[in-house]
Structure 1
Amino acid sequence: MTLLHDLLNSPDPGPFALLRYEGADRLEILRGTSRTVDRLADMPLPELAPGETPGPRTLALVPYRQLAERGFACVDDGTPLTCLEITETARLSLDEAIAQLPDTVPDTEDLGFDIDDDAYRALVAAVLRDEIGHGEGSNFVIHRTARARTTADPRRLAAAALRRLLTDERGAYWTFLVHLPGPDGRTLVGASPERHVSVDAGLAMMNPISGTLRHRDLPPGEAGRRRFLDFLADPKEINELSMVLDEELKMMAVVAERGGQVLGPYLKHMSHLTHTEYLLAGRTGLDVRDVLRETMFAPTVTGSPIENAARVIARYERAGRRYYGGVLALLGRDADGGQTLDAPILFRCADVDPSGGIEVKAGATLVRDSTADSEVAETHAKAGGVLTALGLRPAPAGGAHAEVTSYADDPRVAAVLAARNDRLSSFWLAERPAATAPGPLAGRRVLIVDAEDTFTGMLGHVLRSLGMEVRIRPSHDVAPGDAEAAAADLLVLGPGPGDPEDGTEPRMVRLAELVRERLAQRAPLLAVCLGHQVLSLALGLAMHRRDMPYQGLPSDIDLFGTARRVGFYSTFTAVAEADRLVTPYGTVEIARDADGHVHALRGPGFAGLQFHPESVLTEEGPALLGELLTTLLPIPHP
């Protein structure tokens, strides 16, 4: 009798997990005891004792509701943060494991989606119209749940589904089965395509994935290849990935010492789907539990900006997400005693309760140019692999994966992928030195006011690259008369969601107060996106809500006589009738388009930018900021 046989057949095997890592030819078996903890900081990660073998120590199931640790909104469904404290590990070759897993999936009853296709179409339309259309964010992920029921032992069902995933699914980051026994236990089985975050030897990595092509939509032969090239060149797919890239760069800006470096893009081939992806890498000295906390959760399952995306999800989704959108987190120690972390996103998985209830959750990423029909189809496609493994959907016709994989050798595919980086910011694509060369801005003190969009973390790294000393504080913490703001050489009012004319919104009120104070004091001020809109209102400009939001949109503009490629994340824009405006604070120069929509403005000691100079979509962000700030800040004499 083998350990795997015992785990699947004994009456009470205790908690265990079966894991296959991407590309591995073996199955990892983890066994131990389970306990629940309240916070990520409480997840056990004991020191490596003398003579003790390095490796995994704890496997944590982190539910979506853990977002409350960051103060973000969520439906509290009571799902616990459960830790499997590992006491025994073993390995089986993949062939041995597949031979021992059951090859017949027990009968299950398909109960359909909790939200039918028509209702989900209406939900998509409402989010596009009322949230993205009103400036609440650039993208949101709203899920629905495919439900089923079985009378079989959840372990047997999950083990049979795992076998199918191991034999039929390709390209998964982790393929897994986690069993937590007991009346309140769960059994999870799935194949997650996406690393959320990992840390090894101090190197943190994230893996934003977005853009989805169903292989069944590809015709055979050259026509399929052309359709694949069209997918890679589709602006919607490009912008969707760029938005989640920016959002995960925001997270890397917090956990990595110099922010993240962008690697890619790459293709992610699954059995029935192909995605596009980037890798982000950066050095960190944080405890891995803090890394995990600061990166809750991936924009590919939430949206951006993350804090308001959490609010939108809480408003629109009918029930809690349980583990969907959370992570599996494997915490361990390396040979030197250093902390390690590997955390795939918990999606593309089935959640089976002890009574036989089955849930498979799937969400679509809603962006400015989404269509309701395509997002309905995307949820079916994303749930399809696991539903097929459970015997609830027929397996698609074979052969498509091999043909799609062969496209990677086509020079046209490589060229289209590489072209995605042609006009992205080289600041984020290159490895940056630890030291910054002295310049005219070196040593100048900057206070950034964060208005609930952590683009401010990226902005901080760009300003530090110019030699500036940067602090970031939330808007609710910076009031008029603040001593640090008064002492700063430059105050930066950052981006955030919402309507700048909403006088009942505390953030808008606070930003307006800070703008008025700074202008009255003739103290240097830079305002970005939402901050720029509030500054524009203070200068007497009108505000306009765009018919089509500019969310995650790269655009070529004329910026005070210089052509620039910049990234917009906005629904509202100031409108001006002329290129100059006389105000009580001096004459203001305005950069605008043919419709009068204001891209930027500058006056004596202040400037506003509607676009994001820190975004990966802004081609020359650091140079642009350096030029602008040297005109705002008086350069001290030597």
Structure 2
Amino acid sequence: MALADGTVFLGTGAGAVGTHVGELCFNTAITGYQEILTDPSYASQLVLFTFPHIGNVGTNAEDHEESSVPAATAARGAIFREPITAPSSWRSTNHFDAWLKARGIIGLSGVDTRAITRLIRERGMPKAAICHAPEGGIDTDALVEQARAWEGLDDADLAADVDVDAAFDNSEQLWAAATGYGTLETPRFHVVLVDFGVKKNILRNLASIGARTTVVNGDTSASTIAALKPDGVVLANGPGDPAATDQRSGEMIRALIASGIPILGICLGHQLLALAFGAKTMKMAQGHHGANHPVKDLATGKVEIVSMNHGFTVDPATLPEGVNESHRSLFDGTNSGLSVAGKPIISVQHHPEASPGPQDSFYLFARFADLMDAHRG
């Protein structure tokens, strides 16, 4: 793996053969690597895991988080300390190395992941190129040049590459050990979710509060959404620079806000809501990537441990009057949520669907259901 500043790390290749470029970030989760690597929010990124043993529970067909986009649109690379071991889980159906290869993800082990994590903390998330060549002969100078030449994530509307082409409905509910995924039989609500790279467990959480969800892409007009007669709208997570996606979807979001319909924003959807209200977003040095982030709900005072995956953040100093900070990161004080005075609108920067991660934030879906109930009443 070569960084744009010329730093090179040599290790043992795994997974797909070839070369990929992307932004290098680190993730502090100790479980859920399959969900992480299939999260469309990691499009054009190389994920370094701080937990040393990755792959030891294998993979399965149930834990993918992308909804209907090609596998190649999620993470491009995975970096870990120890070599992949044989799977040891009753749910495993495939070896992690074979899974990486099938999905086109390049793996790299045997590198000092602690040193690379410190590098990212000190210098920010670098542009990088990762290469797996079983026959050897890697030109590291050329790899450095590929990293330098890559355009990066600034001004990139990557959500346009990972959203659905055709609308579809979801009624699949959360997974349970005894029964697997449930099915919503009698919906209480109809929700339209605007897809910018949605994770499946968001859809399942919506089904578990009684919402049949119609998924549409970010190019859908507000009038088309209104014609579906939803009880509420969800703006989903996704990758890339929110300011770039706002250029494409901002007009639709502002029209939804004006309509008075209940809205829930998640991650990129949260940032797009802030932009629609006139606030600004900014690039973070190292981002938030992990399943152990403490966030405070400013309304209740409760601290929840959440999953996060974002490299941009809302600047709270730019929030207009009436748009209020509802959640805050206790790691660095960055904004983690919004509420809007007089409107049924809430949003969070973190991932309340918890795949992977703790389930402390499931209540946000119930809070959204309450908004839809009140709006209908």
TM-score (norm 1): 0.37
Matched, 1:242 2:32: yes
Q: CA deviation at 1:493?
A: 1.1
Number of the residue aligned with 1:601 = 338
Matched, 1:490 2:226: no
Inter-partner Cα distance in structure 1 for 2:281 and 2:288: 15
Inter-partner Cα distance in structure 2 for 1:462 and 1:363: 31
- 1:591 corresponds, among 327, 336, 340, to 327
Alignment-mate amino acid for residue 266 of structure 2: V
Q: Which runs of 5+ in 1 are unaligned?
A: 1-119, 128-140, 146-235, 251-266, 269-273, 284-292, 298-305, 314-340, 350-360, 388-426
Number of the residue aligned with 1:548 = 286
Q: Does structure 1 retain, via aligned residues, the 8 Å contact 2:193–2:214?
A: yes
Number of the residue aligned with 2:207 = 464
Query: Secondary structure, in 3 states, of the residue corresponding to 2:247?
Result: helix
Matched, 1:446 2:191: yes
- In terms of Rg, which structure is larger? 1
CA 1:445–1:125: 2 relative to 1, 3 Å: farther
Alignment-mate amino acid for residue 623 of structure 1: Y
Q: Does structure 2 retain, via aligned residues, the 8 Å contact 1:588–1:602?
A: yes
Q: Does structure 2 retain, via aligned residues, the 8 Å contact 1:575–1:596?
A: no
Please show how residues 65-104 of structure 1 align to structure 2 within 5 Å: none
Number of the residue aligned with 2:351 = 612
Q: Which runs of 5+ in 2 are unaligned?
A: 9-14, 20-25, 41-51, 79-92, 120-127, 137-173
Please show how residues 619-638 of structure 1 align to structure 2 within 5 Å: 619-631=359-371, 633-634=373-374, 636=376
CA 1:490–1:121: 2 relative to 1, 3 Å: same
Alignment-mate amino acid for residue 253 of structure 2: V
Inter-partner Cα distance in structure 2 for 1:364 and 1:373: 18
Q: Does structure 2 retain, via aligned residues, the 8 Å contact 1:459–1:614?
A: yes
Q: Does structure 1 retain, via aligned residues, the 8 Å contact 2:283–2:313?
A: yes
Number of the residue aligned with 1:307 = 73
Inter-partner Cα distance in structure 1 for 2:226 and 2:347: 21
Q: CA deviation at 1:545?
A: 1.7
Q: CA deviation at 1:363?
A: 3.4
Q: Does structure 1 retain, via aligned residues, the 8 Å contact 2:192–2:215?
A: yes
Inter-partner Cα distance in structure 2 for 1:436 and 1:348: 32
Deviations 1:310-366 (A, max 9, x none): 6x99xxxxxxxxxxxxxxxxxxxxxxxxxxx989865899xxxxxxxxxxx963289
Q: Does structure 2 retain, via aligned residues, the 8 Å contact 1:524–1:633?
A: no
CA 1:371–1:142: 2 relative to 1, 3 Å: farther
Inter-partner Cα distance in structure 1 for 2:248 and 2:215: 16
Q: Which has the higher helix share?
A: 1
Number of the residue aligned with 1:121 = 2
Query: Secondary structure, in 3 states, of the residue corresponding to 2:221?
Result: coil
CA 1:575–1:121: 2 relative to 1, 3 Å: same
Number of the residue aligned with 2:182 = 434
CA 1:518–1:242: 2 relative to 1, 3 Å: same
CA 1:577–1:364: 2 relative to 1, 3 Å: same
Q: CA deviation at 1:550?
A: 0.9
Alignment-mate amino acid for residue 295 of structure 2: I
Inter-partner Cα distance in structure 2 for 1:587 and 1:511: 20
The CA RMSD measured in Å over matched residues stands at 4.8
Deviations 1:212-241 (A, max 9, x none): xxxxxxxxxxxxxxxxxxxxxxxx786275
CA 1:282–1:499: 2 relative to 1, 3 Å: closer
Alignment-mate amino acid for residue 245 of structure 1: E
CA 1:542–1:493: 2 relative to 1, 3 Å: same
CA 1:433–1:363: 2 relative to 1, 3 Å: closer
Q: Does structure 1 retain, via aligned residues, the 8 Å contact 2:238–2:267?
A: yes
Inter-partner Cα distance in structure 2 for 1:559 and 1:450: 26
CA 1:121–1:435: 2 relative to 1, 3 Å: closer
Inter-partner Cα distance in structure 2 for 1:295 and 1:500: 20
Please show how residues 17-416 of structure 1 align to structure 2 within 5 Å: 120-122=1-3, 239=29, 241-248=31-38, 275-280=55-60, 282=62, 297=71, 306-307=72-73, 309=75, 346=98, 363-364=107-108, 371=116
Matched, 1:521 2:259: yes
Query: Secondary structure, in 3 states, of the residue corresponding to 1:517?
Result: helix
- 2:268 corresponds, among 530, 536, 548, to 530
Inter-partner Cα distance in structure 2 for 1:537 and 1:237: 27
Deviations 1:467-487 (A, max 9, x none): 1111112223x1232155661
Inter-partner Cα distance in structure 2 for 1:615 and 1:125: 37
Inter-partner Cα distance in structure 2 for 1:598 and 1:372: 23
Q: CA deviation at 1:495?
A: 1.3
Alignment-mate amino acid for residue 195 of structure 2: D
